[in-house]
Amino acid sequence: MAIDLHTHSRFSDGTQSPTALVEEAAELGVAVLGLTDHDTTAGWDEAVRAAQAAGIALVRGMEVSCRYDGISVHLLSYLHDPAAAELTAAVADARRARLDRTRTMVERLAEDFPLSWESVLEQAGAEATIGRPHIADALVTAGIVGDRSAAFAGLLSSHSKYYVSLPTISPIEAIRMVHEAGGAAVFAHPRASLRGRTVPDAGVRAMVEAGLDGLEVDHRDNPPSARVALRATAEAHGLLVTGSSDYHGTGKPNRLAEHTTDPEMLERLVAVTSGVPLIDA
């Protein structure tokens, strides 16, 4: 049973509607799909309808933007109540900050390249959480870079003169908010070193002490040696171990269900949540 707990739709930086994403997953034999758009649950209702029509199970989630000691952290929140006041307010603030940051980066890039805010908006869905991936797509469309990966490796990297940091909440606070909303908190791709600095062991321990529920171990951005260490950490602290694709449609080379989660781990994840239920097939 293929269980892929980390994917994105056009409501954040994926290239498909939730319906198209679910339908593709069903065609590929995915039995359980997690929709985890960045800082939004706007795609949930459509995904529920699509999953019920396609006959697959759906785990509703969200990828929360955080920062630990200046290091970007993505925290996956699963099966939380989307109406929980504090978490909802925090991600709304994150979306506004992301929009302001994106505008500023576009303004900086426009000084040197044929890029406009309108061209970036054309790359995003009407409800999308607009961010760097949409700038990347606009750069590709304008012929400035070859693909998203090239954009993130160069013009949009944290080392670029065009880069603007994103003000976000601490993962310690985010874990508390997720739990208060009845959800489970899983640290996404914790050893994705090619993306930049990763959280040191002391930071991971601090997140565990704050109640972290799991680690996303099987992910293409975690090097094989790091996965071994992450499994040991999870076993030592009784954490869930998840695996997923982090699929973005055509936006990234990741493929649906290229990494998956063990059914036992999904059962454990569902058991610790009380926000919204798993949508059964």
Residue 64 has pLDDT above 90, yes or no: yes
What pLDDT does 81 receive? 98
Mean pLDDT within 97-101: 92
Under the banding of pLDDT at 50, 70 and 90, the label for residue 195 is: confident
Q: At residue 82, does pLDDT exceed 90? A: yes
Q: What is the mean pLDDT of the chain?
A: 95
Q: What is the pLDDT of residue 251?
A: 81
* pTM beyond 0.85: yes
Q: According to the model, what pLDDT value does residue 194 have?
A: 81
pLDDT at 158: 87
Average pLDDT over residues 42-63: 98
Confidence of residue 128 (pLDDT cuts 50, 70, 90): confident
pLDDT in tens, 144-193: 999 998 999 999 998 899 999 888 899 999 999 999 999 999 999 999 98
Predicted pLDDT at 215: 98
Q: What is the mean pLDDT of residues 242-255?
A: 94
| Number of residues that make up the chain | 281
DSSP secondary structure, 56-79, as one string: -EEEEEEEEEEEETTEEEEEEEES
pLDDT at residue 268, rounded to an integer:
98
Residues 133, 33, 167: CA angle, nearest 5 degrees: 35
Residue 120's pLDDT is 94
